[in-house]
Amino acid sequence: MGKNRTKASALGGKSPLERYRVFLQLEKSLSENTVDAYIGDVTKLMSFINEQGGDLLVVTLSQLREFIATLSDVGIHERSQARILSSLRSFYGFLKLDGYIETDPTDLLKSPKMGLRLPEVLTLDEIDMVINAVDTSAPEGQRNRAIIEVLYSCGLRVSELCNLKKSELYLDEEFIRVTGKGNKQRLVPISSRAVCELQSYFLERDRIDIKPGYEDFVFISARRRKSLSRIMIFHLVKELVMLAGVKKNVSPHTFRHSFATHLLEGGANLRVIQAMLGHESISTTEIYTHIDRTRLREEILEHHPRNNRKY
């Protein structure tokens, strides 16, 4: 460490990450956008390591593997994982070249296998195209807008959307309670855009003569007078994607996957994204002690695209 301190002092006190940026700009002649992407990927790892009380300069192979596994846990596509890993290899290659470290911890780190099963990631413009493809003059048009918006803004599984209850909505506080796998519940912040779409839909929903036993379900079929099935949501998404002219293989899960990807790319904390997606085993009572709802909401407001735009 003495060698590193002497080196930093001789270089005007620049941190390794700052020197790496200069290296990318001057020696690699990369564009500013590409440089920002590389630095952003390294910063994600730095935040992950700092949470564990570690040091970016003495990271272990097991820590790197855990970081990549966490990316997979929150639904980040293998291609995005591979890009992040490429950034980390470049960074640690620079650290070794510049004398900060003696061995490169990424040498034995395997790239994620490229699979074909995970859905595409939609851009924010493509998501808007799908929502705007809804015919709001149709009887259930506003309901369908609300469905797509809630899928994306809250990162829900299709089963969670189908089972969402009115009694689980806290729209004034902009939170919803979601029942996920294993009947475990979690609180998820909901964007103001999604709240507006739901409130507009409820004006139509109130006119439906809902069958007994289904009164608390949020999304109702006007014709069947009961809650929607997973298949109905799948068909709806396919139809809207086709009408929008989006040339990607899109399913309801694509919106959940895009939710996680956009949050990560926006700089959100990986642990927060995990909590949002319900990948941690948090029961109804534990959620109040394991999640700081104020911090949770601040992360979503700061990093989710729906909260960074004005409508």
* SS (HEC) of the chain: CHHHHHHHHHCCCCCHHHHHHHHHHHHCCCCHHHHHHHHHHHHHHHHHHHHCCCCHHHCCHHHHHHHHHHHHHCCCCHHHHHHHHHHHHHHHHHHHHCCCCCCCCCCCCCCCCCCCCCCCCCCHHHHHHHHHCCCCCCCCHHHHHHHHHHHHHHCCCHHHHHCCEHHHEECCCCEEEEECHHHCEEEEECCHHHHHHHHHHHHHHCCCCCCCCCCCECCEECCCCEECCHHHHHHHHHHHHHHHCCCCCCCHHHHHHHHHHHHHHCCCCHHHHHHHHCCCCCCCCCHHHHCCHHHHHHHHHHHCHHHCCCC
Say whether pLDDT at 11 is over 60. no
pLDDT of 67 reads 86
pLDDT of 177 reads 94
The residue among 59, 57, 60, 50 whose CA lies nearest residue 98 is 57
Say whether pLDDT at 65 is over 60. yes
**Rounded to whole angstroms, what are the CA distances from 242 to 27, 52, 115, 123, 138?**
46, 45, 24, 16, 17
pLDDT of 280 reads 54
Say whether pLDDT at 47 is over 50. yes
User: Among this protein's residues, is 77 annotated catalytic?
Assistant: no
User: Among this protein's residues, is 253 annotated catalytic?
Assistant: yes
User: Among this protein's residues, is 181 annotated catalytic?
Assistant: yes
Question: What's the full length of the chain, in residues?
Answer: 311
Say whether pLDDT at 166 is over 90. yes
pLDDT of 114 reads 54
pLDDT of 287 reads 30
Active-site hit among 5, 181, 290, 295: 181
pLDDT of 80 reads 81
The per-residue pLDDT for range 283-295, each reduced to its tens digit, is 322 332 233 455 4
Active-site hit among 256, 262, 303, 304: 256
pLDDT of 300 reads 64
Burial string for 250-279 (b: 16+ CB within 10 Å, else e) reads bbbbbbbbbbbbbbbbbebbbbbbbbbbbb
The per-residue pLDDT for range 85-144, each reduced to its tens digit, is 999 999 999 999 988 999 899 988 877 665 444 457 899 999 999 999 999 999 899 999
Active-site hit among 83, 184, 224, 253: 253
Say whether pLDDT at 37 is over 60. yes
Say whether pLDDT at 3 is over 70. no
User: Among this protein's residues, is 235 annotated catalytic?
Assistant: no
Say whether pLDDT at 231 is over 50. yes
User: Among this protein's residues, is 157 annotated catalytic?
Assistant: yes
pTM (two decimals): 0.60
Active-site hit among 79, 170, 235, 288: 288
Give the residue with greater pLDDT, 182 vs 81: 81
Say whether pLDDT at 76 is over 60. yes
* Domains, in order of start, for the chain: 2-97 (1.10.150), 124-307 (1.10.443.10)
Say whether pLDDT at 282 is over 70. no
- Averaged pLDDT of the chain: 82
**Rounded to whole angstroms, what are the CA distances from 214 to 42, 224, 258?**
48, 11, 30
The per-residue pLDDT for range 259-281, each reduced to its tens digit, is 888 887 777 777 777 788 887 53
Active-site hit among 19, 157, 257, 297: 157
